[in-house]
Amino acid sequence: MSRRRSGLLIPLFACPRSSSWGIGDISDIGPMTAWLRGAGQCVLQLLPLNEMARGQQSPYSAMSAMAIDPIYLDVAAVPEFAALGGEASLTPEERERLAAVRSRRTVDYTTVRALKQAALGRAFERFLIDWKANGPRARQLRAFITAQDWWLPDYALYHAIHDHEAHRPWTEWPREWQWREARALDDARTTFARHVLFYQYLQWLADDQWRAARAEARANGVALFGDLPFMVDGDSADVWAHQDEFRLDRSVGVPPDAFSATGQDWGMPAYRWDRIAALDFKWLRQRAERSAALFDGYRVDHLVGFYRTYSRPKSGGPATFEPAEQEAQLALGEQTMAVFRGPGAEIVAEDLGIVPDFVRESLARLRAPGFKIFRWERDWDHDGQPFRDPADYPAVSVAASGTHDTEPMRIWWEGASHEERQRVADLPSARALAIDFTSPEFSPALRDGLIEILFASRSELLLLPVADVFGWSARINEPGTVTPDNWTLRLPWAVDDLDAEPDARARQQQLRTWTTQHRR
């Protein structure tokens, strides 16, 4: 990072236009970044856009580390769908379901995915006319397939076989497919050629729409930041294609921390670091290259896991770290950081939770910005555990009021003790504002005071969750839980209506004022 900037964390799924299909899609990045430009913001932090595992709605449970989830496609912008008549080509039942998901206050992943899959299937049938005639769009898809041949063939074939096997995990497929016997895979490519082409077609559409959206964001002066998940799902194209790089007999997670007194078990396979190193980190390099091709920068999720991976045997037994020794952990972590930085995208490190001192020292030495979450930045070893003043945060850091996993600032404040609020009031940054920070009422003035303290912080980058900017209570995710409410947040207004909403206009103006005042 080289200059003071600020931006908002807004999941793509949360910001649909009025014409979107019940979920924010790639084309919604344009109007969202236009609103951010009006607010003086220059970063839009997104959550992972990787294709989610079957039946999942968590963006951190991916069936591909490379593919964009087709649920984010703007169906109306697909030429073949438009040629069929657009929404008029939907059945009456589909139009009724579309109206229902548009009017919902949260995202209905199951219905949205089914609607889009059906519409895109028909668009693909239309596309096949051009494909058989080797028309201009067919030639464009062929060029895309050639350019992405380092990941796309395995992904599309995995998807095609997965469909054929009624979505059973690849570990339950016939042995010749499980073990990727060359002749069996060649036969499968022929047998499922139509399905393979369909999934390549969807990724081509996503790539085309993403390029347009990123160009629009850049025209608005807004950098798009992505999020690189620590791991992919065990039933994923990547694990199937790179089986020798994963420990399928172990499950990764984290030790006990602020989110869980017993630790977390994510149910995903662990890395085989010895094999990954022997292959010169090729798959991780590919992930870094893919992220850099899509985003201006990205957050490395669970950064500490790339220094030492915490996992437990699936058969039972104690959890352990790999590598086991600190010297090896340090070498591994700094190697992976070099891999992620290699393609040139800006990197920020999600270094929350239990992070050993040597990892923080390593990040400081590498000048890799970590997160400073206001409510957690305290001198825990001092009497009273006072808050650290954001004015004293290191410049190479990311200041934030929370993350996608934390409860919104309003909920935190309303549950805070009088002593905790008093410690906030004692901060020099707080005393400089004419606000009663000891009040248990989360008033608009108090909300704005907490945000302004972070705007004034020394951190070169400030990222604020959208719920905290508006003072909402709704949260994005509650870690350690699997509920229908997680990952379903939607803005209360369509993103193309923000300029007509008084609250959105007021927040936009206030953000711009803070940006100017604090030179962001």
Write out pLDDT tens, residues 125-149.
999 999 999 999 999 999 999 999 9
Return the pLDDT at 407: 96
Beta carbons within 10 angstroms of residue 147's beta carbon: 11
- How far lies 159's CA from each of 53, 164, 192, 197, in Å? 11, 9, 10, 11
Instruction: Using alpha carbons, select from 408, 409, 406, 371 the residue that is nearest to residue 390.
Output: 371
pTM of the predicted model over 0.85: yes
**Class at the top of the CATH hierarchy for domain 5-70+217-517:** alpha beta
Write out pLDDT tens, residues 234-248.
999 999 999 999 999
Sign (positive or negative) of CA dihedral 38, 346, 309, 270: positive
Bridging pattern class, strands 309-313 and 246-254: antiparallel
Asked if 222 contacts 37 with a C-beta cutoff of 8 angstroms, the reply is yes
Query: 3-state DSSP call for residue 226?
Result: strand
Task: Write out the two tokens for 152.
Answer: 């796309």
Return the pLDDT at 245: 98
- Cis (ω within 30 of 0) for the bond into 169? no
Instruction: Using alpha carbons, select from 303, 447, 465 the residue that is nearest to residue 373.
Output: 465
Which run of H or E residues covers position 373? Answer: strand 370-373
- How far lies 93's CA from each of 64, 99, 111, 114, in Å? 31, 10, 12, 12
List the pLDDT tens digit at each of the 520 positions of the chain. 568 999 999 999 999 999 999 999 999 999 999 999 999 999 999 999 999 988 889 999 899 999 999 999 999 999 999 999 999 999 999 999 999 999 999 999 999 999 999 999 999 999 999 999 999 999 999 999 999 999 999 999 999 999 999 999 999 999 999 999 999 999 999 999 999 999 999 999 999 999 999 999 999 999 999 999 999 999 999 999 999 999 999 999 998 876 677 788 999 999 999 999 999 999 999 999 999 999 999 999 999 999 999 999 999 999 999 999 999 999 999 999 999 999 999 999 999 988 999 999 999 999 999 999 999 999 998 998 999 999 999 999 999 999 999 999 999 999 999 999 999 999 999 999 989 999 999 999 999 999 999 999 999 999 999 999 999 999 999 987 888 999 999 999 999 999 999 999 999 999 999 999 999 9
430: left (phi over 0), alpha (psi -120 to 50) or beta: alpha
Q: End-to-end alpha-carbon separation of the chain, Å?
A: 13
Asked if 458 contacts 390 with a C-beta cutoff of 8 angstroms, the reply is yes
Which run of H or E residues covers position 289? Answer: helix 282-294
Q: Taking the C-alpha atoms of 288, 290, 296 and 297 in order, what is their torsion angle to the nearest 10 degrees?
A: -30
In angstroms, rounded to a whole number, what is the distance separating the alpha carbons of residues 285 and 516? 38
Spans of all domains in the chain = 5-70+217-517
Exposure pattern of 349-358 as b/e (b: 16+ CB <10 Å)?
A: bbbbbebeee
Query: 3-state DSSP call for residue 305?
Result: helix
Strand partners, 450: none
Phi and psi at residue 461, to the nearest 5°: -120, 130
Instruction: Using alpha carbons, select from 3, 41, 28, 37 the residue that is nearest to residue 515.
Output: 41
